[in-house]
Each structure stands twice: as C-alpha cells, then as structure tokens.
Amino acid sequence: MGLVNVRIIAQQYSSNMARKLMFGSRYFGKGSPDGGPGDEEVEHADSLSIILAYVYAFCITDYFPWLRWITDLDGHEKIIRKAILTARKYQDHIIDERFQQWKDGVKTKQDDLLDVFINLKNPLNIYEIKSQILDLIVATFDNVSNNIEWAMAEMINEPKILYKAIHELDKVVGKERLVQESDLQNLNYIKACVKEAFRLHPVAPFNLPHVTTADSNVAGYFIPKGSHVIVSRLGLGRNHMVWDDALTFNPKRHMNNDKEVVLTDNNLHTFLFSTGRRGCPGMLLGSTITTMLLARLVQGFTWELPSNEQHVDLKENLHDLAKARPLSVIAKPRLALHLYNTS
C-alpha cells in the first residue's frame, strides 16, 4: 500500500514500452534497485515531455521564418535543441552500436524495430534512422500517459464507473491471473472508459498543424493552397451539438449493444488518432498500450483518495489540457501477491 503518482507511472510505462519496441530493452541502464526507472529513464522521459510541450507552442518564426536568422525571439529553439540533445544522448549511441553490429556480422537476427529499420530493402542511412526513432518514441509518449491519468481521475471521482470496470475485469479475466492483450476484445467497458477520456480530455487543444498542398474545399469552406489547417480537438470532443451532456464523463455513451467498442472515429466526432490517409499509423499500437495499462491498474489495485481529500480535483493546466495537479492516490493490491512479481 502506498501513495502513487499516476502521472509518473503512466509516463514511465509509455516510455518503457517505446524503448522495449525500439531497442529491445525497457532501460538504458540497469534501472533503479526497486525495479523502477533509473536516472537515465527519468531524464529521458522529462526531455520527451519538454519536446512535446513545445511542439504545440506558438512560435513566431513558424510564420515568419526569416526572423530565425536574426534571433530566437521566444527562446523555443534553444529549449527544444537542449531537450532533443538530451533524448538523443541516450538513444543515438545504441543505434550506432547496433548499426556496427550488423555491419560486422555480429548480429544476424531482427529482434526489435531498430533492427527492422537497419535492414529495410530500401535502406535508410544512420541519420535518418536516428530521426525516425526519436519521432516514434515522441509519438508514443504523451497521448497514452495523459489519457490514463484523466481516465483514472474521472473513474475514482465516480465510484459507480470504477466498480463497473472492476466487475467487467473480474468477470472476463478473474483474479487468478493478470489481464492479457488477448482479453481486450472482451473488455468493452474498459475500452469505453479509454475512449471517453480521449474525447473529454485530449492531449492538446488542437491537432498538429497541417499545410494544404492545393486549393481545397472542405465542408463548404474554400482553403487556399499553403494554408495552415488546425483542427480543434475540444471543438469536436466537447461539442454540445454532437454529444449529450458533453462535459460529463460517461463511458456508457460509447457502448452499442453487444458490438465491440473501437477507438477509431471515422465520423470525426472525436479526434483520437485522426482518420483517412493522414490518420495515425500507430493507432492500433497506441490504443492497445493505453487500454492494457488502464486494465492492469484497475484490475491490480484498489484506489483511494488520501484522507485529506474528498474528491479528485479535475482542473486543467492553464498552459495545456493536462491535469493541473498530478493524480496522487493510494493504491492497495487486490490480487494474489505472486502475480505482482515481475522478475
């Protein structure tokens, strides 16, 4: 039993998963003695947070590029460069070593995505691989962790919702084993909680800016070539014309009889992973990672507020849509202790 910072758990889980997929290992070093992240992983995750914070920030030189040659007016480029160098400090030497191992014939079997990149039929050079790896790790980081923290906050504030999620897990999975990826197709209510958190609490107010490559007509509007197009995630997910009681966390709204709940939305009533040719290629991976973590947290622990708190404060940060205060709650194991042994 202990006080748990759900934000840190979710962020480290996301970055651990990304490192495991890319490099075949959760840690850059040995991790901490208690099995958690070490200093390297903490610094790496912090650098990813900074990069993502400034991806969405307004920067005057994005619109007046010629000013970039004069000065870094708002200091963004200096901050971004430092964060990228920190992230790549831990990543690039692994890529250099692996590249050399394949070149020397020391490694002959593909075990992770880095090996796949190195052995593409149309090969990338090492600089392109380093950029692609960083891009993929950044893309898997914030959406998952933000969703999990908000979903847990909303569910703890509404015990009936949390109880229903627990009941589904106990019925589908039981308490004798941990939930597995193969169980997810039968966990409709858990997926509905994930989808509702994505709807109500997107990771950012807008999508990443896109630029039109040709004159276009969309929904009756003429958009000239070269226009910056920015979609409001809030304007979709919290739209009272689309959603009943739009500001209320209600997973049931996504349940459709016995049909499986999916996290895609081709009608764009929400902006989870976009759609069409420009949709997120990692949608299945991102939704699976998110659903698995929420299912494990709900199944594995009972969650209580500290004695001095009556409810979870759901205020948003003034600078973005993250929770203003990290979610810190008391976790107590609810399964047999041997199930928590990850060694």
**Residues 177 and 104 reside in one and the same domain:** no
Q: Which amino acid is at 286?
A: G
**Residues 199 and 128 reside in one and the same domain:** no
**Residues 55 and 131 reside in one and the same domain:** yes
Confidence at 190, pLDDT banded by 50, 70, 90: very high
Q: Are 114 and 23 in contact (CB under 8 A)?
A: yes
Structure tokens at 139: 């893309």
Domain range enclosing 3? 1-140
Question: Is pLDDT larger for residue 10 or for residue 68?
Answer: 10
Q: Which amino acid is at 133?
A: I
Domain boundary among 140, 165, 192: 140
**Residues 86 and 61 reside in one and the same domain:** yes
Domain boundary among 140, 171, 201: 140
**Residues 102 and 9 reside in one and the same domain:** yes
Residue 210: which H helix or E strand, with range? Answer: strand 210-211
**Residues 306 and 221 reside in one and the same domain:** yes
Residue at token pair 């840690």:
27
**Residues 131 and 240 reside in one and the same domain:** no
296, exposed or middle or buried, with CB in 10 Å at 0-12, 13-18, 19+? middle
Q: Count up the domains in the chain and report the number.
A: 2
**Residues 68 and 177 reside in one and the same domain:** no
| C-alpha to C-alpha distance for 85 and 325, rounded to whole angstroms | 28
User: What integer pLDDT is reported at residue 123 of this predicted model?
Assistant: 87
* Mean of per-residue pLDDT scores for the chain: 88
Domain boundary among 140, 163, 189: 140
**Residues 272 and 166 reside in one and the same domain:** yes
pTM score, whole prediction: 0.89
**Residues 54 and 35 reside in one and the same domain:** yes
User: What integer pLDDT is reported at residue 111 of this predicted model?
Assistant: 93
Above pLDDT 90, what percent of the chain?
Answer: 56
